[in-house]
Homo-oligomer: A and B are copies of this chain.
């Protein structure tokens, strides 16, 4: 039976893990985490490396410890679409079916905590709470995917770019890493984890169009770029309007 609830039982790797409470591991109690930790090991990837492919079953599931992973689908003539982005405490892998219908590729340098397939699936069967947690995450993913469908199908280039930046800004606010507050009034700032090409593939645009829209947002004093990757939001409300979320009513 389960031992006395004792934090000392938690493996040091997990105790020191930056994402444990927010990752799916947060659903587990001490001995559950022990059994998961027993099969886990860390691995890192460099930007551009393929982590999982749609061509062969993935041999592991994983938590993302740091970095950003892009999920991509492509057409035979080379056109590509990013169908999902995974950040730090997110889970990687399709439960129950080892086959995933997309590529998972490191967008930045990435660290993951990986669990071999068989072992993880056993644990998944054993602890329903874990499956439940995965289910809820999947539902959130689906919501996000639907938001994205609205963006891809109905928004203009300007709105697409603004929406994406807004998402990143909100993320930065939530995580509390708007580390870059030059001014007294704290502007939100964040590091873009993607190249312009990736941004284009995410938004269903071309590189050039993305670049032009960023320029436009700059000249509108809605955002400012410290460098190509570091964005400062000067006018959050303006960005929201540019994203097409709020429309001023002058009727």
Contacts and interface: CB of A to CB of B under 8 A. Distances in A.
A19 interface: no
Interface centre among A75, A138, A155, by most B CB within 10 Å? Answer: A75
Which range contains the number of A residues in contact with the other chain?
Answer: 35 or more
A83 B204 contact: no
Copy total for this chain = 2
Contact of A152 (B74, B141, B152): B152
A73 interface: yes
Given A96-B139, A138-B138, A148-B149, 7 more contacts: A75-B155, A76-B247, A79-B155, A94-B139, A95-B135, A153-B201, A153-B203
A244 interface: yes
A150 B247 contact: no
Contacts of A201: 153
A189 interface: no
7 contacts: A76-B247, A77-B244, A77-B247, A96-B136, A101-B146, A131-B131, A131-B135
A232 to B, nearest CB: 27
A145 interface: yes
B139 A75 contact: no
Interface in A183-215: 201, 203-204
A204 B152 contact: yes
A128 to B, nearest CB: 6
A135 B137 CA distance: 11
A75 B146 contact: no
Nearest to A73: B150
Interface string A131-171: 11011101101110111111011110000000000000000
Contact of A145 (B128, B136, B146, B246): B146
A214 to B, nearest CB: 18
A80 interface: yes
B145 A149 contact: yes
Top 8 A-B residue pairs of the complex, sorted by shortest distance between their CB atoms: A153-B204, A152-B152, A83-B146, A145-B145, A81-B150, A81-B153, A79-B154, A76-B247
B80 A146 contact: no
B154 A204 contact: yes
B146 A73 contact: yes
Nearest to A146: B83
Contacts of A77: 244, 247
